[in-house]
Amino acid sequence: MASGTTRAVGVDIGGTGIKAGIVDLDRGELASDRVKVATPPGAHPPDVLAAVREVLETLGVADDATVPLGVAFPAIVKNGKTLSAANVSDEWIGFEAEKFFEKGLGRDIHFANDADVAGVAEVRFGAARDQPGLTILTTLGTGIGSALLYNGVLIPNSELGHVQRAKHGKDAEAYAAYSAMERDELTWEKWAKRLQWYYSHIEFLFSPDLFVVGGGVSKHADQFLHLLELRTPIVPAVHRNNAGIIGAAALALG
């Protein structure tokens, strides 16, 4: 790929969609169209691999191993292995996912949790830039993802979408993710009540300095963020739903 700027490709695999783009890392923004395909039903590894290949082909970078490639995934990622599977097939639990993608794509990749890379994007290029203390980025989508950033340094795999609702014994994300709003056909106001519970609880546990809200619904932040009453400032991710793509690409460059 010819280029006078620093570029890398980011792929953001989610429970519902797989998004990708070429990222200009000098500016921290997309240098291509944003490409999206649906996450294949069941999200089985071979089908997800085929979908990733498809978005790379659409971007024209499938066979260009000279451009760094970062891939983000909605699970705990430790030393290249996926260790959980909340909204994808259980086959990912304890799976050598990074090696699987590298073999299947015929190239090296950088592999990490989807919310963690969104956090990296917002620290480098967005709402958490130069933010001292603890920033907690949450992505509100199919699940709830989280990134803990302390003085700009990522503490990976925080998984705060899985804090439990006392009495109900259920994951917070099943109650308060954007998918729960859609599933239960909630108004913004009703959903905001669930978010109020969620963010108050996280605020109590961590006393953060800043909340950043990412995920697809962050483009509608003006519909619900002002309804929340918290001690902690809460702002939308500057890069909205592209934070995952940008962060994955940033990570690929190191």
Q: Interface with ligand BGC by CB under 6 A: which residues?
A: 14-15, 74-76, 84, 86-87, 113-115, 139, 141, 143, 145, 159, 161, 173
Name the residue nearer to ligand BGC (CB basis): 40 or 62.
40
Whether 77 and 83 have beta carbons less than 8 Å apart is answered as: yes
Name the residue nearer to ligand BGC (CB basis): 88 or 238.
88
User: CB of 209: closest distance to ligand BGC in angstroms?
Assistant: 21
User: CB of 175: closest distance to ligand BGC in angstroms?
Assistant: 13
- For the chain, the residue count is 254
User: CB of 163: closest distance to ligand BGC in angstroms?
Assistant: 11
User: CB of 27: closest distance to ligand BGC in angstroms?
Assistant: 26
Name the residue nearer to ligand BGC (CB basis): 126 or 141.
141
User: CB of 172: closest distance to ligand BGC in angstroms?
Assistant: 10
Name the residue nearer to ligand BGC (CB basis): 14 or 21.
14
Name the residue nearer to ligand BGC (CB basis): 31 or 52.
52
User: CB of 141: closest distance to ligand BGC in angstroms?
Assistant: 6
- 3-state SS record for the chain: CCCCCCEEEEEEECCCEEEEEEEECCCCEECCCCEEEECCCCCCHHHHHHHHHHHHHHHCCCCCCCCCEEEEECCCEECCEECCCCCCCHHHCCECHHHHHHHHHCCCCEEEEHHHHHHHHHHHHCCCCCCCCEEEEEEECCCEEEEEEECCEEECCCCHHHCEECCCCEEHHHHHCHHHHHHCCCCHHHHHHHHHHHHHHHHHHHCCCEEEEECHHHHHHHHHHHHCCCCCCEEECCCHHHHHHHHHHHHHHC
Name the residue nearer to ligand BGC (CB basis): 70 or 74.
74
